[in-house]
Amino acid sequence: MAKPAAGTYEEDRRTQVKVKHHRSVDCVVAGYAEHRNGGVGSLRLGLYETGAGDHGAAGSASGTARRPLLHHVGVASSFSTAQRRTLVGELEPLRENATADHPWAAAFTDAGNGNEDVASTGSSARLPSPPNRWSGGRRSADWVPLRPERVVEVTCENVGNHRFRHPARFVRWRPDKDPLQCSIDQLDTVTPPEFDLLFGS
């Protein structure tokens, strides 16, 4: 909360301002869920394990390229009706052969596959979560896989366990960025330097 330096607390009046910290993150779009009224309801977002951008085409010393893990970190939603329809057309080309070598292929047959809470340092990638058990079947966990070739910039508020705690918001496409540059270390929480001044190192 913030208020003018010369301001005072005034009971039952909204004289203070709530300031939220927003973070910008570049994510890989690996799928989307359809909206109940048509179009794209939410984008499935992924981030590669740290160091994924260092994996060259030549791979390891044995000559076998190790595929970096793409962790599901959350979704981007809250699109307008016009945006939902536009996004369907933009993403349509990425549906072709998307399931052939998709990094979340295990989720197609077993939504989540029990890996929805795997940490970024684990041996398995975190997959999209299974259906919400409290939804009573009203909400579907089905989603449309896409080839993970497009990068999107989103904003988020809270991050926990290397995932978005709330849906992120779409900002813009990043055609200038390679998907392998989207690493999960973007979600690392850095302690503000002001904390050291207030509480000591």
Whether 80 has a pLDDT exceeding 50, the answer reads: yes
pTM for the predicted model, two decimal places: 0.71
- Comparing CA positions, the residue from 103, 113, 110 lying closest to residue 28 is 103
More confident residue, 82 or 128: 82
Whether 116 has a pLDDT exceeding 50, the answer reads: no
* CB neighbourhood size of 53 (10 A): 14
Please give the pLDDT value at position 192.
Answer: 65
Please give the pLDDT value at position 109.
Answer: 58
Whether 139 has a pLDDT exceeding 80, the answer reads: no
Domains of the chain: 23-53+65-188 (2.40.50.140)
Q: Is the Cβ–Cβ distance between 104 and 125 less than 8 Å?
A: yes
Please give the pLDDT value at position 30.
Answer: 95
